[in-house]
Amino acid sequence: MLTSTSNVFGRVNRRRPCRICGKPDWCSYVRCDGERISICMRVSDGARKINSHGGAIFIHDDWREEKGLDGRAVANIPQWPIAPIEIRDFVYGRLIDLSPASLYPSALIAGEKGLLARGLDERYFGNYGGLPADSRERDRIARLLRQEIEIVCDSK
């Protein structure tokens, strides 16, 4: 069963920037237990571990000292194996079908870093997708994709 990680992880923003690099984007943190674990996408020096997405996992020193821990527990976090290429291809294709770039014209197409600014022609827009800003909608898409993957895997 797929569980929502939106309640566990928080995305950094201007009001709550990354405690490692100080930037308001790309990075995240663990919401529970006082935001004592950060996942920085820019700085890896001093990290306890690098996750499968390239994020550097940091346990803040004030928490380790308070709890009398040295941070080694993070190294024992189990990592999910990478899905076979066929499954990843299926999921990315369905994600583009379910959430095409055309749903987000101001951000993904015409925005400062959008497809037009990158020199892509309109005929290629169908090759790109994007995730909705709303976490509930992202969770809905993730659940749908998970159900479809289970159907595909069960049929093989």
Low-confidence ranges of the chain (pLDDT < 50): 1-3, 63-74
State pTM to two decimals: 0.47
Burial zone of 78 (CB within 10 Å; 0-12 exposed, 13-18 middle, 19+ buried): exposed
CA angle 56, 101, 54 (to 5 degrees): 10
pLDDT digits (tens, 9 = 90+) for 81-110: 888 899 889 999 999 999 998 898 888 899
